[in-house]
Chain A
Amino acid sequence: MITLRSEASQGMALSAPATLYVGLLVAAPLGILVVYSFWTQTYVSIDRTFTWENYRLAVEDPLVRHLLIRSVWIAGLVTAATVALAYPIAYFIAFRTRHKTLWLLLITIPFWTSYLLRVFSWKLILGFNGVLNSALMTVGLIEEPLTFLLYNEVAVVLTLAHAWAPFAIMPIYVSLQKIDRSLLEAATDLGCSKLERFVRVTLPLTVPGIIAACLIIFIPTVGDYVTPALVGGSDGKMIANLIQVQFGAANNWPLGATLSLMAMLAVGLVAGCFVLLSNLLARRIR
């Protein structure tokens, strides 16, 4: 005879392996990073006496401050650009087409191809002797290659806005899809113009989707390594590139750990403020 345990303990037992695995691999590395951040690197070994030296260095070094601020700034730009470009598409799929599944599939397929290769491809498109320049010159629109395309912030923003597109479209689409259509009709019946209806009904109702999209994009972007390394040039470098150097060429793990933690802190602070502000704003509009 089988003895069925209580629902609760069965549920806990089944979800335990995944929860423990993920939980352990979130907590343990974080703990180790904190410990490392209070140590110092001597040439070949690690000095394990407690010190705030790394934090002092990180706070006082203008390069670190500069890179941190720029990472947050670029991530903010990327988030704004991606969401602004994606919103009309999500709107289009939710309200304007009957082939929703097809469109959603079309939008997600590029995302499943290698991120590294997509970024690399942008480098080829925007390069001095690249696809865009050579195409424009072949057509005769320009005489000489444009030099402002690659190795700057704009290239980073463009590349990442491309990379994150489905992450912005999906949550916004879901929140648009959830809108009760009779609310829109009511707004029209009560004399709203299309623009008014959009600003006062549709947009406020999609705020949760927009917030979700912003967070999903902003958080990983602050720590992005590949895009600034490939298309950022010296102007577009971000904090992740400096962190990688500490774990690679510079071989200063404690400083790398400190920088990782500071990047995480910056992400947390900005994301937290953003959620608070947008919730306040959403309440205002309504």
Chain B
Amino acid sequence: MSRLLRSFPGLSAYAVFYLVFLYTPVLLLPLFSFNEGTIVAFPIKGFTLKWYAELAGQEALLRSLLNSVIVGGVSAVLATSLGLFAARAYVRYRFTGREMSEALVMLPLVVPGIIVASSFLVLFLSVGLKPSLTAVILGHTFLTVPFAVAIMKSAFDEFDPSLEEAAYDLGETVIGTFRRVTLPIVAPGIVSSLLVTFTVSFDEFILAFFLAGDQPTLPVYIWSQIRFPAKLPNTLALGSCLLAFSVLLLITAEYFRRRSAKRT
């Protein structure tokens, strides 16, 4: 093995270079959000927090933030509930059509966004649902189901079915067993799924762009701001807040996922 390790000496250097490539665009936003100059270019003019301070007073921004939180929260709960039951079925039971069903729920991951967005818009309008937060929620639930299923499947994978059997034998009902045995054990997985699906919804742009109508979510609001060079520093500050928030959520989600894996 160690012989294998020493081959290709350039590979470690490449890996480090690749990380720089991955992180440069992500770290650039926070770096320039503290820049006093309004143009995003070197040299940096000086340190300021005023772009952040200005964010607090912008009503349209705060409203779109609220919209995003609502959409993210509701979609996360819906997708996680769907994912919870489906994942349990996939891990625990053998039934006809299981593989097809498993493949189907993963489909939203690979359909091009513009096709989902345009077809949902047409569908929703034909059944009388105007572009609104409800429409975005339905769309985001669709998009986030695969994430919920994947996370819940790994939570159930670690779950020992004999615990449930023991509960049945001791006289618990099906619902009682689920509530008092199954649910507490997979709870960290549920938290992790909620956080991940929330993050995906919170960052999603193209569906919301088509379906939000006059109730923009945060990415749609940012899209409308990108076009104005004068708003650039504020957009950078806002973007930096979002980056920090997403990473924080993800680290929390990862913590809970690990805990759920360790528990059994």
Contact = CB atoms under 8 A, between A and B. Distances in A.
B94 A162 contact: no
Contacts of B247: 109, 112-113
Interface string A143-178: 000000000000000000010010000000000000
Contacts of A28: 123
A42 interface: no
Given A2-B174, A8-B93, A135-B42, A18 B83 contact: yes
A233 interface: no
Interface stretch (A54-62, A213-221, A277-285): A213-221
Interface in B122-140: 122-123, 126, 138
B96 A8 contact: yes
Contacts of B18: 85, 88-89
A222 B239 CA distance: 26
Interface string A108-139: 01101111111011101101011101110010
A200 interface: no
Given A2-B174, A19-B101, A113-B203, A26 B107 contact: yes
A240 B114 contact: yes
Interface string B1-22: 1001101100110110011011
Given A21-B82, A113-B246, A120-B239, A12 B119 contact: no
Interface in B234-258: 235, 239, 242-243, 246-247, 250, 254
A121 B28 contact: yes
A130 B120 CA distance: 37
B52 interface: no
B155 interface: no
A272 interface: no
Interface string A3-42: 0100111111111011101110110111011001000000
Interface residues of B, number: 85
Given A113-B242, A116-B205, A22 B104 contact: yes
B25 A125 contact: yes
Interface in B165-221: 168, 173-174, 199, 203, 205-206, 210, 219
B146 to A, nearest CB: 8
B223 to A, nearest CB: 7
A120 B25 CA distance: 9
B89 A12 contact: yes
B85 A110 contact: no
Given A12-B97, A32-B122, A134-B42, A260 B222 contact: no
A133 B41 CA distance: 8
Interface of B: 1, 4-5, 7-8, 11-12, 14-15, 18-19, 21-26, 28-29, 32, 39-43, 81-83, 85-86, 88-90, 92-98, 101, 104-105, 107-116, 118-123, 126, 138, 141-142, 145, 149, 168, 173-174, 199, 203, 205-206, 210, 219, 222-223, 226, 235, 239, 242-243, 246-247, 250, 254
14 contacts: A7-B94, A8-B95, A10-B93, A26-B104, A89-B14, A93-B15, A113-B242, A127-B40, A133-B41, A134-B41, A162-B21, A184-B4, A260-B115, A263-B115
Q: Top 7 closest A-B pairs, CB basis?
A: A223-B112, A11-B93, A29-B119, A134-B41, A14-B89, A18-B86, A15-B89
Given A105-B254, A225-B113, 8 more contacts: A2-B168, A15-B90, A18-B82, A29-B120, A131-B40, A131-B41, A134-B42, A264-B112
Interface of A: 2, 4, 7-15, 17-19, 21-23, 25-26, 28-30, 32-33, 36, 85, 88-89, 91-93, 95-97, 103, 105-107, 109-110, 112-118, 120-122, 124-125, 127, 129-131, 133-135, 138, 162, 165, 181, 184, 194, 215-216, 219-226, 230, 239-240, 243-244, 247, 253, 256-257, 260, 263-264, 267
